[in-house]
Structure 1
Amino acid sequence: MCLTHETTSTSKTTRRASVVVTRASATDEAKQVVPKVIIDNLSDPLATILEIEFGDKLGELADTCEAIRNLGLDISRAEITESNQNRFYVTDHQSSEKITASARLEDLRQTVLTTMCYYHPEAQEFVQQTARNSKPYEVADDAETEYVTPTKKKRQIVPTRITVTSVSNGTKSKLLIETTDRPGLLSEIVRVLKDLNLNVVQAEIDTIGAAAVDTMLCTYHGKALNDNMEQLVVNTLQYYLGRLDRDESY
């Protein structure tokens, strides 16, 4: 009888422990809700679609809407789903057209992220952990100089992945960029592509926690990129986006 009693007690203890572990896992998953800001210029021909997600923490987003309007933008339509996906159709106030300028898209992205962090401080744990705050591999830039400066420059290697594929019956190329988010990233990408004479036809800019996942449809002189051009684009973007220069005091 004693042996049976101990076995039953052990079984109950195991079940209780299992319940505790399950609840702890559920709590951990709830804590891992990652804020998402997606700017979609692909899906709608007339408006830029802005999607914002952060679990059930965002509420009505009235402050975010006001901040967007302060950028000279209009929200022509809004959709709030039961799964806490907030979707806004954004147009320029003066032209009533979708937003295409990279600088304005970057302003929109930064405004949404800043507002989210202000009203929801818990988002700061995820949002804009920039390359400067990450811990990538560092390489000292030991270029020779004729004089000694009070600072030395170090270069951080930022994890970056670039892929190029052909789409739309070979008339365009899809460029997928995955890297660490930081202010000015979109402007830097567009600058590099312009220097390579690429035309960005459409784009989707996704900010998921500290990660940036940007998709762009591009052409080169009206056509999809050939193999040599694809390699050039990958190498150039990898060079500029995969490294971050910063100064460190001695």
Structure 2
Amino acid sequence: MAFSIAAAGTVGVYSSLKKIETSVSNGGGVSRCFFGLGVPSCRVSITRRLPSLANIPHASTTATEGGSSSETDTVPTPKVIIDQDSDPDATIVEITFGDRLGALLDTMRALTNLGLNVVKANVFLDSSGKHNTFAITKADTGRKVDDPELLEAIRLTIINNLIEYHPESSAQLAMGVAFGAVPPKYKVDVDIATHINIYDDGPNRSLLYVEAADRPGLLVDLVKIITDISVAVESGEFDTEGLLAKAKFHVSYRGKALIKPLQFLLIAYDTS
């Protein structure tokens, strides 16, 4: 399902963030490949600095939301995945923080406060820890979420709750710098390289991969950069992995895969 931009109904849930900037500027760094894809049909990597956003609400210090923690344990890397690919009818959210998460009832309640329905919740375990997954839809339409501002509000709400109920997680999150009880030991460099790769995904669409330092509003900025040059975002996945954000978007131009000149235009967007 294609993303729409800035639906009026989501302004309220996103009001704690400043209005995003639409430009990006050059930055320094070393480009590299990621996501483990070995046979690109067109691979272009650049370094850029994306605009920053200001404050989101500070997490309060209250009772824990289930789960377990130990001050002597190594703090695992928290992960929040927003998946628009797996289910045609719902947005899938997955939250992992080692084995420390409980039922996340408060997180589900916070999502309903955004005008969402949690239609299904599952938990599974693997070697990386306990994975809590939610299938969510918009309460007013019963459909999956397609507004990037609301998707970003979902992401920030989950991270805010994670830091609130598991303060030790802020040491592993970029947003812990701004409002976490325990900020990361190493601050995120605002000039950290953003790595962009584009691959053909059949004749009718392309795959766009982005890796960048995480910050509030990043998802909205990325979608806006893409759609500003009339490239359609059909679906995708946005992963928050500790201090980094990794995005995968299925994109097209007039129903076709991106030709190379348009790929270079997208990657070079506003870097001059």
In the superposition, the TM-score normalised over structure 1's length comes to: 0.72
Match of residue 158 from structure 1: 192
Kindly indicate which of the two structures has a greater share of residues assigned to helix: 1
- For residues 128-167 of structure 1, what are the structure 2 equivalents within 5 Å? 128-129=174-175, 134=187, 136=189, 156-167=190-201
Distance 1:135 1:183, change over 3 A: closer
Match of residue 143 from structure 1: none
CA offset at residue 158 of structure 1?
2.2
The residue matched to 2:196 in structure 1 has which SS? strand
- Write the letter of the residue equivalent to 2:172: F
Is it true that 1:125 corresponds to 2:125 in the alignment?
Answer: no
Identity, % of aligned positions: 34
Match of residue 16 from structure 1: none
Larger Rg belongs to: 1
CA offset at residue 157 of structure 1?
2.1
The residue matched to 1:157 in structure 2 has which SS? coil
- Write the letter of the residue equivalent to 2:158: V
- Write the letter of the residue equivalent to 1:94: D
Match of residue 174 from structure 1: 207
CA contact (8 A) 2:238 2:248 kept: yes
Is it true that 1:68 corresponds to 2:111 in the alignment?
Answer: yes
- Write the letter of the residue equivalent to 1:211: L
| Misfit runs of 4+, over 4 Å | 129-133
The residue matched to 1:42 in structure 2 has which SS? coil
Tell me, in whole angstroms, the C-alpha distance in 2 between the residues paired with 1:127 and 1:189.
Answer: 20
CA offset at residue 60 of structure 1?
1.0
Gaps of 5+ in 1: 1-26, 137-155, 241-250
Distance 1:135 1:186, change over 3 A: closer
- Write the letter of the residue equivalent to 2:214: D
- Write the letter of the residue equivalent to 2:187: S
Match of residue 107 from structure 1: 153
Kindly tell me the number of residue pairs found equivalent between the two proteins: 192
Tell me, in whole angstroms, the C-alpha distance in 2 between the residues paired with 1:55 and 1:128.
Answer: 18
The residue matched to 2:144 in structure 1 has which SS? coil
Q: Which of 98, 104, 119 is the equivalent residue of 2:144?
A: 98
Q: Which of 225, 228, 231 is the equivalent residue of 2:258?
A: 225
In the superposition, the TM-score normalised over structure 2's length comes to: 0.66
Greater RCO (Cα-Cα under 8 Å, separation 6 or more): 2
Match of residue 188 from structure 1: 221
Kindly indicate which of the two structures has a greater share of residues assigned to strand: 1
Gaps of 5+ in 2: 1-69, 179-185
The residue matched to 1:190 in structure 2 has which SS? helix
